[in-house]
Each structure stands twice: as structure tokens, then as C-alpha cells.
Amino acid sequence: MTFEFEWLFDTPFLLEMDDTAGTLKFKDLLPNLSARAPEYAGVKDFIEGKSNPKLRPHRRVDPKRAELFCSSRAGHTSITLKVHRNQYAYGIRTLLNTVNELFGFLHLHCVEYLTVTFDLPEE
Amino acid sequence: MAKKSEKHTVESEHDEQASGVSRRNFMKTAALGSGVAAMGTSAAFASVESADYSIRVPDEFELPQKTDLPKIDFGGETDRRRYGPGVTQAMRGADVFARACKEEGLAALFCCPGNYQIVTAMANAGIPAYGGRTEGPMTSAADAFIRVTGEIAAASGTEGPGFTNMICAIAAANACRTPLLVVASNMDQRLDDTERGIQRGYQQPTTEGIKKYGKRVVNGSRIHEYAGYAFRALRTGVPGPVHLDFTLEASSPIFEDPGDLDLYYDKEHYRTDSKPHPDPKDIQKAADLIKQAKRPMIVASTGVFYDKAWDALLQVAEKNQIPVVESGPMRGHFSDGHELSASTAPSALYSVDLVILVGQYCMPHTGEYAFPPDARYIRIDPGAGDIGRNVPIDLGIVSSEKAALEALYEALPEQRRDAWVAEIAEAREAFEAENEEYYATGLGFEDGVHQAVLAKELADFLYKGDIPREQTTFVAGGFGIARYVRRYVRAYRPGQICNGAYQYGSIGPDVGYAVGAGIAVKDGVGPQAPYKGAPVVCVTGDAGFGYSGIEVETLAKYRIPAIVIVWNNNAWGTWPGGSRDPHVGHVHLFQENLRYDKMGEALGGHGEYVTKPGDFTPALERAWKVAVNENRPTVINCQGKKEYSTGRPGMLGKVEPGCMSYNH
């Protein structure tokens, strides 16, 4: 099942739900961001850091309920949340909030990538 | 009621046959009538036979303080040749309008020559008038004056090109929701569409979409009535610019008797100061939502400032321990120094579960504010028509901001949210640590002044030294440099920061803003009163300086102690993107190492050229002394490199709302 979000930019975000695998995936959420891109390391650290036990519960991805990871394929980066025990309500909320926070991170630290990729006005 | 006088006449400035009054004669007789005659008729027009070519401010700049205002009233003398001390001058349409403005407390007029009748009438009514070099920046000056005082000011331009020079600044004021009175002359109605003479054109269609209210005033007997329209629009509801243009048929007629004017009654009767108050049921719903929320946050925006609701805001925030983040075209209505301030805690925004928007007139679109997508929203606004626009709300409250906050204070219990407040504090610390990192990186650039060095050392000078941290009013201008400066500058009291060009995003109004903010502080208007006469500081870029740098002359001649810091990176801020194409990259570049400091000196100010990081703070100290001791402006030309906007940290982004915010 695929859902289309018109949200942060004019480009729609596609969310793929695979209830067999138990995954929610924003496929190619970050176009033209390969694993070799300088920004990728920061994105990966950000995503992996979301499970850090030092984070406050409302900001952390609870590993008992879901796992969050990013992957790069064909030069594009996807963000995936694998839910445990069909906790999709938790999964959707967590994933959407994570993507929101991820783009805040990109706005602060990778603004040139956003400008080039999503046509963000330079002003 | 009003009866028509048969005596009123129209004087055409462009038809010397009709009345013998030309533009030159008008200025001469108006000047004489204002009391210059007291100095002797030859003094104002004698040639200066001095060989001294040093820059000097003419004596006329002191005349307004030394000369009594003329008496102007119904039934006064109509022959300008008889004007002089002790003579009551006739009341013309322009004088009727000016009197209404004075009674409304219009705090200042910013203009260039032109619109003579209205401008002269306003000055003669005792409204402080300031003349600059270009209409655009002077309109920006009026905008900034209003944004740091909350008082209404006017900007004036002459018909045709003088007026169209104002358009960008009017559009910016409209995006800011500034209650700016725009006045312009507009020839005479009887010769509409003839193109006789010069400077003819319709103005009102030009400001369609960038004003709250507008009218071409063509009938002198209704000029007071339209003053009422103007001030009802300026003083009620969500503010915005008001544009009136006046034909000679409106500004010139002489009125022997108040009865000659239509609907001539005062502001007690042509408008009300009454404001909308919230429905108690809505306040109870809001209180319930707030009590249930774990991590609520108030967004204190434009309306909090204009409704003077900062004390009520503080009470609500402290009673229920609700953190506050600022947005809007001005900052300081919630002190950055308060433990509940979240304006410098951007990483905490992602934890918010309830957003309380107060006076957020310029609404962000979905996703533009950093709050989580599952956060709930309360919106408090004086206008029902805008609630629900752009961002879906869970509760809308139609009310003036102050009334709603006072009602919320009564409805809310005392509540502690220690964990949430601790999270805000951690987020602030993380933000400051990042700023320190940027500064350390910036110090490593030894061939120029990095943006982070400029921003941090400026902030240390203004807030961590001998100057009281709440003293200095600041204009946050520029584009690329603003991405750094906004991270470091702080606001500790209302009207302390004028937040640049805001949503309209124009480049270059900054020195105009410095004129307006500088005059507001110089004259001690509104919340600037405790800091009367203190220096003001403006940061801009070299691209922006190109638009309004000439107004350094205005700063100098009015003795405004302003420090204008130009971050000079030899390029427009668009260079990083523009440089990708070799055929067009040059469009984004200037010559390197241009001397804007010398331009400041040439215009009567002081200049500093800083090329090394260690030289910035000493230059700032010298500029401060010039400001305090001489009331003269300084241009500090900080030489950077366009390449500092690439690499790390390079061009910074921003998160909204909060200190980095200028879109909404």
C-alpha cells in the first residue's frame, strides 16, 4: 500500500506500507543523496541517534516497539521504520515526527542540499 | 451639519496662470510663513561665500526646535504674503488632515521632497518630520519606527515616481502587518488622463494587495472624513498599511468654517478603542487543552507587540510554566533571558504537543514551523476570517491578544512543568554550544572576517560587557550574514529587535530601517523611552548596502548615533548557487574589497575597515565612542569572502519559529 504526502515541499513524499514485512518506508525521501554524499553521514548519524537511550522517551524510537534505519539505493536515500507486533499507529506517528525533525536537521546543516534538490528559495 | 462655503478655492501648483502660485513660490512662501522670516528674509537665501568645503549640517536642521509652530485655524489669513509671527494662517484641506493626524498621535513623518502641502501641513502641526535621500528607504524607516515603538508613523512621496519608489517598502510593511500611513500627492483630478505636465498616474491600483485600506481623496470637504477612515483601519483589527493619495482639489481648498467639512467630528466619535474579548467558553476549552498538554508552547507573535500584551503574556507563561517562542517582524516581547524563553532552543520545538499561536498574523504554511505534525493548535487572533488559514486548528479564539491572555491567566491553574522546562534549558545550551563551534571555526579564517566572528563578537559587545543588555535596539538585516547574526543577537525587552525585511524578503531596506529605529530611540518613543539617545546597531550585507547606503547621510544630518555594520563578501548571497553556471556567475559578484567605510565618511559619518578577525571588536568600540560622544553614524566595513558561504559551516539554514525566524 502506498500513501502520498504533500507536506514539506511541493514534491510529494511516498510512504510504502508493507504489512507482511511490518515496514513503513518513505522511499527515496532524500533524492540524489547517495551513501557517498558528504551529507549522508550526518543523516545516518541522525537516524541512528533516534534510538539512543539517552533521548527523552517522547523523542526516542523505542526499540521494543520499532526500529528505524536509513538506506541508500540508486543514489537516493530512504527512511524505514520496522514496527514490532503491528504497532502501526505508533509507527506512523513516530515516522512522521522523525521525518519532520530530519528536515529540520537538514534545514540547519545541509541547506545547500535542500536548495538544489527541493528548489528551496535561497532567501 | 456642514454647510458649503462659497469661498474655498483650488490652487494649482502647475498652473501659474490660475493663481500665480508655482511650486517654487509655494516653497518660498511656506518657508516664510513657518517663521524663517524671523531670521530676516535674506538669511535663508544668501549665498555662502566661504572656501570651507568640509561637511557641515546646515543651520535649518535646528530650526524646528527653535521656531514656534504657526497658528493655523478656520477663518485665518488666506494671503500667504501676509504670513508671519502672530498671523493665524488659513486652514486648508492639507491642514485639516494634518490636524487629524496630530490628534491621533501620529508619531513621525518620513519623506523626501514632494507632496508639499501635506508634508508642510504635518510639520506645521507639530508632527516630527524627517527627510531622506530616497523614498523607498524612507518608507522603510517609517516601517521600522513603527515596528520598534508600536506607534503609528507616516511615509510620504510625491506623485508619480516619488510614489512608485515606495512600492517595495509598502509591500514589505504589508507583509509585516505594519500600521503604516502612506501619503502621496497626486496632481489634480480635473486633468485626469490628459498627461498634462509630468508625474500623472493612478496610485490606488498600484497598491492593490499590499495595503489594508486605500483611497484617492479628491474632495476637500471630505478630507477629515477620510482621515477617520485611515485611522480606523490603522488602529483596529489586524494592522496593515493605509495609502491615501491627495489631489489638489482635496489638499488645497481653504475652509472658513468647520461646517464646510463633511462629517467633521473627532476621534472620540469617528472610531472606538473598544477591542474584541474572548468567549469565556473558548477560554475554558483552551485552559483544558493546556492543562492536559505535557509540552505546550506559546508562539508570541506580531499581535502581542501591537496589543502591548507582553505583561499579560509573562503572567500566563509563569503561572502555568508554558515556554514561549517568538515570531514576527519585531522581537523582544518575551525576553530571551527568561528561563521559559524557547526562542534560542530550536531542538525543543520537535517535542511540542500543543501550540498556542498568539497574534500570528503572517501564518506559516503546513510544515514551515518545526512543530511535530501531530501537535494540536490553538490560535488567538482579533480577526475570525483568518483563523484556520494554512494550518488546521483545534481551537480558534477571536480576541485581542491582551484580553485573551488576561482571560487565560484567570482560567489557568498554577502548574509546574519542570521536566519540560529542563528540556528547554538543555536545548538552549545545545544551541549556544553550536554557536561557539561556529565561532571557533570562524576564527580559523584569517584572511577576512567570518560571519560567525562578526556575529558572536557583536553579541558579546552588546550583551556581555558594560552596556546593559536590554539597551541596544538592533536591526537584523542582510541575508547570508543574517543567518549567522540572528543566532547570536538577543532581545530582552519589547521593540529591541527589528527583524529585517521579514516575509517579503526584500534585500536592502536595512539602512532605511536604521534611520527609523535610530529616530525612535533618539526621540525615546514608546518602549524606547528608557533608552532615549542610545546608539542603535544595524547589520547588513554589501548587497543590501547598495540599496539604501545613501541614507547614511540621513543618519549623519539628523545626528543619529547608528552603527551600520556591512558584511562585505564581494557578492550577493546568491553566489553559491549562481556560481554553478560560468555564463551567469558574474551576475552575482561585485568588485572585491570595495570601501563602503569611505562612503560612510563621505556622507558625514565615521568609517572603519576591518580585514582581520581580531580587529572587529576594537573597531566596534571606536564606533560606539563616536556614536556616544558625537552622535554620528559609523559604517564598519567588515571584509569577508564569498567563499565563507561554502564549505563548513558555510551558508546556514534556519528553523522557525524562534530567533532564526524571519519568514513568519
CB contact under 8 A, A104 and B573: no
Q: How far apart are the first and last CA of chain B?
A: 47
Q: Hey, what's the cell of B246?
A: 491627495
- Cell 568600540 appears where? B621
- Which segment of A63-77, B47-61, B146-160, B281-295 scores lowest on mean pLDDT? B47-61
The answer, yes or no, to whether residue B559 has pLDDT greater than 80, is yes
Q: Give pLDDT, residue B42.
A: 46
Return d(Cα B259, Cα B529) in angstroms, integer: 40
List the one residue out of B272, B331, B276, B275 whose CA is nearest residue B299: B331
Contacts of B423 in chain A (CB under 8 A): 56
Contacts of A123 in chain B (CB under 8 A): 479, 505, 573
Contacts of A103 in chain B (CB under 8 A): 367
CB contact under 8 A, B653 and A111: yes
Burial class of residue A1 in the structure, from the number of CB atoms within 10 Å of its CB (0-12 exposed, 13-18 middle, 19+ buried): exposed
Q: Give pLDDT, residue B50.
A: 61
Computed over every residue of chain B, the mean pLDDT equals: 92
8 A C-beta contact, residue B216 and residue B245: yes
pLDDT, average across residues B167-179: 98
User: With bands split at pLDDT 50, 70 and 90, how would you rate the model's confidence at B95?
Assistant: very high
**Are β-strands B376-381 and B354-358 bridged in parallel, bridged antiparallel, or unpaired?**
parallel
What one-letter code names the amino acid at B155? Answer: A
What does the pLDDT look like over B473-530, one tens digit per residue? Answer: 999 999 999 999 999 999 999 999 999 999 999 999 999 999 999 999 999 999 999 9
* Distance from the Cα of residue B655 to its chain's centroid: 24
Rounded-to-10 torsion of CA B183, B189, B191, B195 = 30
Shortest distance, CA A71 to any CA of chain B (angstroms)? 23
Return d(Cα B313, Cα B406) in angstroms, integer: 8
Provide the sign of the torsion angle of the four alpha carbons B128, B133, B135, B141, taken in this order: negative
In this complex, the residue of A8, A109, A122 whose CB is nearest that of residue B577 is: A122
Mutation site, B294, B355, B374, interface A, largest A CB count within 10 A = B374
Angle separating helix axes B116-124 and B23-33, nearest 10 degrees: 0
Cis bond before residue B649 (omega within 30° of 0): yes
Return d(Cα B146, Cα B152) in angstroms, integer: 6
In this complex, the residue of B650, B651, B655 whose CB is nearest that of residue A104 is: B655
What does the pLDDT look like over B329-357, one tens digit per residue? Answer: 999 999 999 999 999 999 999 999 999 99
List the one residue out of B565, B543, B574, B578 whose CA is nearest residue B633: B565
Q: Hey, what's the cell of B87?
A: 498671523
The vertex-B439 CA angle with B369 and B471, nearest 5°, equals: 70
Contacts of A114 in chain B (CB under 8 A): 653
User: With bands split at pLDDT 50, 70 and 90, how would you rate the model's confidence at B206?
Assistant: very high
8 A C-beta contact, residue B309 and residue B623: no
- Integer CA distances (angstroms), B347 to A42, B299, B342, B422, B448, in order: 16, 15, 9, 13, 31
The answer, yes or no, to whether residue B5 has pLDDT greater than 60, is no
Q: Hey, what's the cell of A115?
A: 536548495
Return d(Cα B416, Cα B436) in angstroms, integer: 31
User: With bands split at pLDDT 50, 70 and 90, how would you rate the model's confidence at B45?
Assistant: low
Burial class of residue B155 in the structure, from the number of CB atoms within 10 Å of its CB (0-12 exposed, 13-18 middle, 19+ buried): buried
User: With bands split at pLDDT 50, 70 and 90, how would you rate the model's confidence at B375?
Assistant: very high
pLDDT, average across residues B450-459: 98
The answer, yes or no, to whether residue B38 has pLDDT greater than 60, is no
Q: Give pLDDT, residue A9.
A: 84
Query: Does any CB of chain A come closer than 8 Å to the CB of residue B642?
Result: no
8 A C-beta contact, residue B515 and residue B551: yes
pLDDT, average across residues A13-31: 94
The contacts of residue B220 (CB under 8 Å, 6+ apart) are: B8, B93, B96, B249, B250, B251, B252, B253, B255
Shortest distance, CA A3 to any CA of chain B (angstroms)? 16
8 A C-beta contact, residue B18 and residue B12: yes
User: With bands split at pLDDT 50, 70 and 90, how would you rate the model's confidence at B579?
Assistant: confident
Q: Give pLDDT, residue B48.
A: 56
Tell me chain B's radius of gyration from C-alpha atoms. 26
Q: Give pLDDT, residue B2.
A: 36
Residue of A nearest to B657 (CA): A104
**Are β-strands A13-18 and A23-30 bridged in parallel, bridged antiparallel, or unpaired?**
antiparallel
Residue of B nearest to A92 (CA): B374
- Integer CA distances (angstroms), B498 to B176, B515, B641, in order: 11, 12, 26
What does the pLDDT look like over A27-63, one tens digit per residue? Answer: 999 999 999 998 999 999 999 999 999 999 999 999 9
8 A C-beta contact, residue A84 and residue A65: yes
Burial class of residue B536 in the structure, from the number of CB atoms within 10 Å of its CB (0-12 exposed, 13-18 middle, 19+ buried): buried
- Integer CA distances (angstroms), B603 to B136, B480, B610, in order: 19, 26, 19
CB contact under 8 A, B653 and A58: no
The contacts of residue A39 (CB under 8 Å, 6+ apart) are: A33, A106, A110, A113
- Integer CA distances (angstroms), B601 to B550, B570, B631, in order: 11, 20, 14
